[in-house]
Amino acid sequence: MAIGTPNKLFFSRDTKMFVKVGTFFWEIPVLDGFSFSQGNNTTEVTLNEAQDSSGNSKRARQLFNDSLAPAEFSFSTYMRPFKSAAGSALNTNQAADDQTHHHAVEEVLWAMMTTDDHGYTQGTNDFVFDTFTKTASQVDIAFSESNKPALQEFELYFQLGGVPTAATDGVVVYKLTKAVINEASIDFDIDGLATINWSGFAQTIDQHATHPANQAAAIGASIVDEAVIATNNYIRNRASSISLFSKAGTATRTAFAGGNNTGTSNAGQYGLTLTGGNITISNNITFLTPETIGSVNVPFAHVTGARSVSGTLNCYLGLDTTNAGTNIGTSTDFFLDANSAAARAIVTNQFELDIDIGGGTAPNVLFDMDQVHMEIPQINVEDTIAVEVAFHALPSTVSATDEITKIRYVGITPDA
């Protein structure tokens, strides 16, 4: 592929990123700070012997390349739900759907994280992912197909140099083969927009000869890029809210009891106003690499580890009177209840935690977790005294996949 003008430099802000699954491409805008790299593993052999009759000793070393390490990548995307404009057939149009269903610009990444090698098919109207339920009201993402030893692999492209020109391509394309999503981390930066930090592994990084637009054209398809340039489907973190309900009285678990938050009405419910927080979902993936001597081995395949869903919630320590008389606990109630004698007697508590990023008005994203274990809150002494509490979303049984009951995206008709 022609690189273009000699001595041309490539800038990160000119980069475009594409995901290829099967024969279809998605364009996904990324934020500054993305990275991809691949190192290698070596063995060092050293000599350490006593001196010889001449008073000398061998002190040399030898170095051997054993294998390529798995390629690592990380990037951030905004959370951008939208309602499809109902385009025509997908192989001739960039639309995500031919109906007015809800989607997200980054939805293919969720699909790769939550499905196995057989979780992707092309439907008549749109792209069908096994764990998605799309309607004209919302799209729900579940983890029901994630109990697999290996997840969906895809090709990840980083196109450096911006938009290809007609005369010369003027771009360099790097392809990450057999890429897998290992972790997604959602941060609640209260003054920012909702973002997801993605990271994962791949088998190799190769410089590719053809940029994604030409590849898609060669197979008679277009790149799915609906709502990529829209300006109205970003989500404000400041509008986010949470609801926290205890699940006392279950057979094996109970929530905090005692303290100020008791009574018959709304008992075990806490009204906390976030100042920040995080949700981290990890597949704990390991890449397997052969160890044959005499050759430089290449990573072979990946295996999943224990699925982990955890995070933190931050709020001010305060006496909010908004819910006075309702028995809805404040942050001080929560801290008191969590440190009560009754709470210390509970080995694993159970709460229902709903985090609504963006509030109840579209566009917004809801994380619904029904079996959440709350750790004892920590006091952070700052200009304004704050509380930080860590949580762990657990499955209903050891074989279940319902740590997160659903991730619900509610979109908006894009303005571009």
Domain boundary among 224, 251, 281: 224
For residues 196 and 260, state if they share a domain: no
Strand (E) positions, 79-138? 81-83, 102-104, 120-122, 127-129, 132-134
348 occurs within a structural domain: yes
> What domain range includes position 326?
237-410
Longest Cα–Cα distance of the chain, Å, equals 93
415 occurs within a structural domain: no
Sign of the dihedral defined by the CA atoms of residues 94, 20, 362, 98, in that order:
positive
Residue type (1 letter), 67: S
Q: The domain that contains 406 carries what CATH number?
A: 2.30.110
229 occurs within a structural domain: no
Cα distance between residue 365 and residue 263, in whole Å = 32
Q: pLDDT digit of tens for each residue in the chain (416 aa)?
A: 445 555 678 888 899 999 998 888 999 999 999 999 999 999 999 988 898 889 899 888 999 999 999 999 999 999 999 998 876 544 445 778 778 889 999 999 999 999 886 556 666 666 778 889 998 999 999 999 999 999 999 999 999 987 776 555 778 999 999 999 999 999 988 889 999 999 999 999 999 888 898 888 888 777 888 899 999 999 999 989 888 888 765 444 455 654 444 444 455 788 888 888 999 999 999 999 998 988 999 999 999 999 999 999 999 987 665 555 456 778 888 888 888 877 777 888 889 999 999 988 899 999 999 999 999 899 999 888 999 999 999 999 999 999 999 999 999 999 87
Domain boundary among 194, 224, 254: 224
For residues 257 and 389, state if they share a domain: yes
59 occurs within a structural domain: no
For residues 331 and 251, state if they share a domain: yes
For residues 26 and 120, state if they share a domain: yes
For residues 305 and 210, state if they share a domain: no
As for how many domains the chain has, the answer is 2
Cα distance between residue 268 and residue 249, in whole Å = 11
For residues 263 and 219, state if they share a domain: no
51 occurs within a structural domain: no
Q: Six-digit token pair at 321?
A: 């009177």
For residues 111 and 211, state if they share a domain: yes
For residues 243 and 155, state if they share a domain: no
For residues 259 and 206, state if they share a domain: no
